[in-house]
């Protein structure tokens, strides 16, 4: 699998084309990610896999669960992605992701169930580093966003990767 190509330039408005029907995201009306340390609660949508990657162009202010990774709460590695900057050039839902610390909680609410994860690491990797998809035998959450926009190339140089382990189901 290959990380989704992502990112919009900070402070610049990007005009988006219409979203193709083949790339429509699956809405989970009652699934949100709450990160108390960031004082944020963000809706989650399902991103269909397209070949060996995902198109997150239309993600907006949502987080996207990458279809093909473990569903949150299941055994394995659940990968959720979000923009650091939105198409309108303003900060995205994961703009402060790198400020999380070991032990900070991440809550995924899905209907009446709440999954409580604790941050175990915050790292920086190069784009297309396959380590974000590394298999896990227990429920693990991986949150990914971009860092270090390069104006010359129009791409981000790094990905911020937060790993968290499931510590409680309510």
Q: Are 48 and 26 in contact (CB under 8 A)?
A: yes
For residue 7, being part of any structural domain is answered with no
Phi, psi of 14 (to 5 degrees): -110, 125
Look at residue 15 and tell me if it is in a domain. Answer: no
Residue 1 domain-assigned? no
- Asked if residues 160 and 145 have their Cβ atoms less than 8 Å apart, the reply is yes
Alpha carbons 104 and 119: distance in angstroms, whole number:
5
pLDDT score, position 31: 92
Do the domain assignments include residue 13? no
Distance CA 69, CA 135 (A): 9
Q: Say which residues have a Cβ less than 8 Å from residue 53's Cβ, sequence separation at least 6.
A: 1, 2, 3, 4, 5
The total of structural domains in the chain comes to: 1
Is residue 14 one of the residues assigned to a domain?
A: no
The CATH number for 68's domain is 2.40.260.10
Q: Is 8 within the bounds of a domain?
A: no
Domain housing 163: 22-169
Domain-located, residue 44: yes
CA angle, 131 as apex, 19 and 23 as ends, to 5°? 10
**Rounded Cα–Cα distance for residues 65 and 71 (Å):** 8
* Contact (CB, 8 A) for 74 and 139: yes
**pLDDT tens, N- to C-terminus, the chain (170 residues):** 555 556 666 666 655 555 555 555 667 778 999 999 999 999 999 988 878 888 787 788 999 999 999 999 999 999 999 999 988 889 999 999 999 999 999 999 998 999 999 999 999 999 889 999 999 999 999 999 999 989 898 889 999 999 999 999 99
- In this predicted structure, what is the pLDDT of residue 117? 98
* Cα 92 to Cα 67: distance, rounded to the nearest angstrom: 21
> What pLDDT does residue 65 have?
93
In a domain, 6, yes or no: no
- Residue 114 class from Cβ within 10 Å (0-12 exposed, 13-18 middle, 19+ buried)? middle
């Amino acid at each position: 699998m290959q990380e989704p190509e992502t990112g919009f330039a900070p402070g610049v408005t990007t005009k988006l084309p219409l979203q193709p029907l083949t790339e429509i995201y699956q809405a989970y009306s009652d699934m949100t990610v709450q990160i108390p340390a960031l004082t944020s609660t963000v809706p989650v949508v399902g991103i269909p896999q397209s070949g060996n990657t995902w198109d997150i162009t239309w993600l907006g202010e949502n987080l996207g669960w990458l279809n093909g990774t473990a569903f949150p709460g299941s055994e394995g590695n659940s990968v959720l992605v979000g923009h650091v900057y939105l198409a309108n050039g303003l900060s995205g839902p994961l703009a402060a992701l790198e400020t999380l610390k070991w032990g900070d909680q991440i809550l995924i609410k899905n209907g009446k169930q709440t999954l409580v994860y604790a941050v175990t690491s915050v790292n920086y990797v190069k784009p297309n580093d396959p380590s974000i998809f590394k298999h896990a035998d227990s429920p693990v959450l991986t949150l990914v966003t971009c860092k270090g926009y390069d104006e010359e190339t129009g791409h981000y140089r790094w990905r911020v990767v937060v790993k968290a382990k499931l510590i409680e189901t309510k």
